[in-house]
Amino acid sequence: MPELPEVEVLRRELEPFLRGKRIVRVEIRDPRFGFPKEAAEGKTIIGVRRLGKYLLFGLAEGGCLALHLGMTGKLLLAKENTPQKHERMDILLSSGEHLLFCDTRRLGKIAFLREEKELSEKLGLDPLSPAYTLENVRALLEGGRRLKDFLLDQRGICGIGNIYASEILFRARLHPERPLSSLSEAEKARLFVAVREVLEEAIEERGTTIRDFRRTLGEEGNFQHLLAVYGKSHCPSCGTPIVRKVIASRSTYFCPRCQPLEGEGNPLVQE
Ligand SMILES: [Zn+2]
């Protein structure tokens, strides 16, 4: 399931193909993905932006199309419209190409937004945005919630999903069940850095794949080779067996030695 790095790689691949192209026609194949087609038809795409896990196709005439890939959403750029499996939407571009959205499990979302803030107001800090500063992140790290829940909540920091949450917490050497209020200043700073580092490294690695024209976009990459703890059996740093535990209803992987629950600043070890 795509998280911020996968969506960002997709955005970078898509933008040169879409910028300046006009949307000639929109065919909705599944009413679940319906939106007012006339809001997009005849309009010109001025750019593709990303916010958290959403792609935003900006339109020169105002507004944007927002797309969330859900669990299984895929975009395919095709020279001809040959019907695809689980095709939900077909956008015919002025270049004659078709941008197809396919989604097996139908958990994706498409909407027309008059203003980007309709979405941005519901989401937290994007880790690649200028607003992602230590000061702003520190202000979010309050209260008794656990780190894992905090990272998955798109209203705090947006774009992180289950896989990168484990990777980020390992990088920061923080136990996923640590309450936010137990974090020392040094630990908050480690978390702040780890979020950006892990996501940026993943983007870089995924950006090195070979491209051909007619294909599913954003599929390749070395994602699985980057993982340090997610789905792994032993810690790459100390060799301790990795613990898999369901936290926030999702599989969470961590090293019990490198990420102790009783860390510095944790009230459990403060007399
Ligand atoms: Zn370890």
CATH at 115 = 3.20.190.10
Furthest-apart CA pair in the chain: how many Å?
Answer: 70
Phi first, then psi: what are they for 224, rounded to 5°? -65, -25
Number of domains in the chain: 2
Does one domain contain both 97 and 142?
no
Which residue among the candidates 11, 43, 53, 148 is catalytic per the annotation?
Answer: 53
Which residue range forms the structural domain that includes residue 116?
A: 4-120
Is residue 125 a part of any domain in this protein?
no
Ligand 1 centre from 153 Cα, in Å? 26
Does one domain contain both 180 and 254?
yes
CA-CA distance, 217 to 71, in Å (whole number)?
15
Is residue 128 a part of any domain in this protein?
no
pLDDT in tens, 6-53: 899 889 989 999 999 999 999 999 999 989 999 999 999 999 999 999
Share above pLDDT 90 across residues of the chain, in percent, rounded to a whole number: 76
pLDDT computed for residue 226 by the predictor: 79
Is residue 126 a part of any domain in this protein?
no
Ligand 1 centre from 168 Cα, in Å? 14
Does one domain contain both 181 and 262?
yes
> What is the pLDDT confidence band of residue 210, given thresholds at 50, 70 and 90?
very low
Partnered with residue 11 across adjacent β-strands are: none
Is residue 157 a part of any domain in this protein?
yes
Which residue among the candidates 3, 6, 8, 13 is catalytic per the annotation?
Answer: 3
In 29-108 the beta strands, taken as DSSP E runs, fall at 45-51, 54-59, 64-68, 73-78, 87-93, 98-103
| Catalytic-residue membership of 250 | yes
Which residue among the candidates 179, 250, 257, 260 is catalytic per the annotation?
Answer: 250
| Catalytic-residue membership of 2 | yes
Ligand 1 centre from 190 Cα, in Å? 16
pLDDT in tens, 72-101: 888 888 888 778 889 999 999 999 999 999
The helix or strand, by DSSP H or E, that contains position 160, with its residue range, turns out to be: none
Ligand 1 centre from 253 Cα, in Å? 11
> What is the pLDDT confidence band of residue 265, given thresholds at 50, 70 and 90?
very low
Is residue 98 a part of any domain in this protein?
yes
pLDDT computed for residue 215 by the predictor: 45
**Mean pLDDT over the full length of the chain:** 90
Does one domain contain both 113 and 22?
yes
Q: Which residue has the higher pLDDT, 223 or 52?
A: 52
- Around Cβ 271, how many Cβ atoms within 10 Å? 2
Ligand 1 centre from 69 Cα, in Å? 33
Is residue 261 a part of any domain in this protein?
yes
Domain's final residue, options 75, 94, 120: 120
| Catalytic-residue membership of 3 | yes
Ligand 1 centre from 233 Cα, in Å? 11
CA-CA distance, 180 to 188, in Å (whole number)?
9
